[in-house]
Structure 1
């Protein structure tokens, strides 16, 4: 698996922050819509979004949910704070924080969402351990990510791998290794985005 450093993530998203919504907004939006629709049905009292980025999902979460968003990139968070500021009356808190070492107490959130983050974090297993720690027992974790395996992804992986290695994105990322290998309960897996290139995985924090 490609090595990704924290500094690599920070520098990559410093470059992307001004154009992220334009480059990745529309193409990944179907997955975000599926994610937030599921959260809307669940209506959790508290929710943590890991990798909140520019805040593209914030306005779609239930108005009654207390939302906390964390991101490693201050540049991305500046856009998210601007969006959150327009959502008057909502309980939204945004923090610059390393999701592999969060300073929240155990069992802090009813729901944790992780949109397009697992394959760009330096240590996915460490991130998973933190997700499980801060999510309440029996709580819900939503992973939204690409995973290797489909024929369409295999072709795309070969095309983007030289670029992915440079910008800190793992094009070769396996569901079995990064989801099934952990001791949590996978409840549903849904293909989302163009050609089903991403999956929305619903997990019960057993």
Structure 2
């Protein structure tokens, strides 16, 4: 990992005409409904195309060797096998149908200590500082209130622990074209297309340790953060 010197302008500017067009809100019920519907197809649709990001995220976690890890938005459990087996792993999600598949996947990993729970990540039941590491794969842009999610993941991560965010961020010319294509359908597909790095990462007082592009054309970024507070 290399230390990031990223500033708000580093991720590219969002065009002024797009800023003036508010995106459809994402609701908790809409997210759960979308992913319940997608559960039977999720691995086929998003398994391989998003796998490089998951693989790199798991590599980072293996380098860290945390004693405990929370995966927010565990989905069907595609990342579980990549985590170190000596780590106590908890995965949470809003979608019952996705969680059923995650439990099936976890059952085939007997060498891992994995618990799967239904939970809203914006209102987690865990005590403060419960985890050494929190991973957040492809979740920040689908949660109804990203600021609440950030507050909660920082609360349940130990002070000085590591938070690993895997997500798309607005800015590149290619992503700008995709934003225009899906903006009005955000509620139906379950994510915000207009999602800026400066607003969602740099506006918080955690320490950015590294940022690297992942997935096809580098459309997603893996951001490693120290939960200093």
Q: TM-score, normalised by structure 1?
A: 0.97
Show structure 1 runs of 5+ residues with no match. none
How many residue pairs get aligned? The number is: 206
Q: Alignment RMSD, CA only? A: 1.0
> 2:24 touches 2:184 (CA, 8 Å); kept in 1?
no
1:18 alignment partner, one of 29, 40, 47: 40
Is residue 97 of structure 2 the alignment partner of residue 75 of structure 1? yes
| C-alpha deviation, 1:166, in angstroms | 2.8
**Which structure 2 residue ranges, 5 or more long, are not aligned?**
1-22
Moved more, 150-159 or 14-23: 150-159
Q: 4+ runs of 1 displaced by more than 6 Å?
A: none
Task: Determine helix, strand or coil for the equivalent of 1:187.
Answer: strand
1:44 aligns with 2:32: no
Deviations along 1:17-64, one digit per CA (max 9) or x if unpaired, are: 000000011110010011001001111000000000000000110010
Instruction: Describe the superposition over 1:96-121 as per-residue Cα deviations: whole angstroms up to 9, x where unpaired.
Output: 00000000000000000000000000
Partner SS state of residue 125, structure 1: helix
SS at match of 2:124: coil
Q: Equivalents in 1 of 2:183, 2:25: separation in Å?
A: 13
Give the TM-score of the pair, scaled to structure 2: 0.88
2:123 to 95, 98, 101: 101
CA offsets per residue over residues 119-157 of structure 1, 9 Å max, x none? 000000000000100000100000000000011111121
- C-alpha distance in 2, partners of 1:7/1:160? 19
- Tell whether 2:225 aligns with 1:203: yes
Instruction: Describe the shift of the 1:64–1:49 C-alpha distance in structure 2 as closer, same or farther (beyond 3 A).
Output: same
1:58 is aligned to 80
Does the CA-based 8 Å contact 2:30-2:187 persist in structure 1?
A: no
C-alpha deviation, 1:162, in angstroms: 3.4
Instruction: Name the CA distance, whole Å, in 2 between partners of 1:165 and 1:63.
Output: 36
- 1:168 corresponds to which residue? 190
For the residue of structure 2 that corresponds to 1:139, the secondary structure is strand
Find the aligned partners of 1:82 and 1:166 in 2 and give their Cα distance. Answer: 27
Q: Does the 8 Å contact 2:34/2:188 carry over to 1? A: no
The CA deviation at 1:165 is: 4.2
Q: Which residue of 2 aligns with 1:122?
A: 144
State the 1:168 CA deviation.
Answer: 2.5
Match of 1:2 in 2: 24
